[in-house]
């Protein structure tokens, strides 16, 4: 099953858009983001190469948040305290990332770290488009998505 989802955000005087394309395997609940397009109109772009890097790294960070990262607790404390076992996206799992920048000489400067914030809602919307089931939390692990699909 495949789907596409969008998230639009205004943050720190900048406009951001994220478009996720996903493939969901119903038998396992596995979600693969196959492509992610990120765009911004943040005023005058001074260093497009650096902005490109920030946008791409924000997408990778946001995908890790959406698909894998999870803080766990017991009755007393946080139990996910070992960074060597903390799950993040690998290079192999990183999809094609397309970046679109619009520079506006007639505006001031804007921006902020919005790149990672648009990713989880775009991925959740893409899963909804693919399956008809709306995720309500992250991470979108295979176990969670499988439970959603079984309804």
Quick one: CA torsion of 7, 12, 13, 14, rounded to 10 degrees? -40
pLDDT of 151: 84
Pick the CATH number of 2-150 from 2.60.40.420, 3.40.50.300, 3.90.950.20, 3.30.365.10: 3.30.365.10
pLDDT of 19: 98
Band (pLDDT 50/70/90 cuts) for residue 38 is very high
Band (pLDDT 50/70/90 cuts) for residue 91 is very high
> What length does the chain have?
151
* CB-neighbour burial class of residue 63 (10 A; exposed 0-12, middle 13-18, buried 19+): buried
């Amino acid at each position: 099953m495949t789907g596409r989802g969008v998230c639009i955000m205004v943050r720190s005087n900048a406009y951001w858009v994220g478009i996720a394309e996903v493939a969901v395997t119903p038998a396992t609940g596995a979600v693969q983001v196959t492509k992610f397009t990120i765009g911004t109109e943040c005023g005058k772009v001074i260093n497009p190469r650096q902005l490109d890097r920030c946008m791409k790294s924000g997408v990778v960070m946001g995908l890790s948040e959406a698909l894998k990262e999870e803080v766990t607790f017991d009755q007393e404390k946080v139990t996910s305290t070992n960074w060597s076992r903390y799950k993040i996206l690998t290079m192999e799992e990183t999809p094609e990332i397309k970046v679109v920048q619009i520079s506006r000489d007639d505006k001031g400067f804007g921006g902020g770290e919005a790149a990672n914030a648009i990713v989880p809602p775009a991925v959740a919307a893409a899963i909804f488009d693919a399956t008809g089931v709306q995720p309500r939390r992250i991470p979108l692990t295979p176990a969670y998505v499988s439970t959603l699909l079984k309804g």
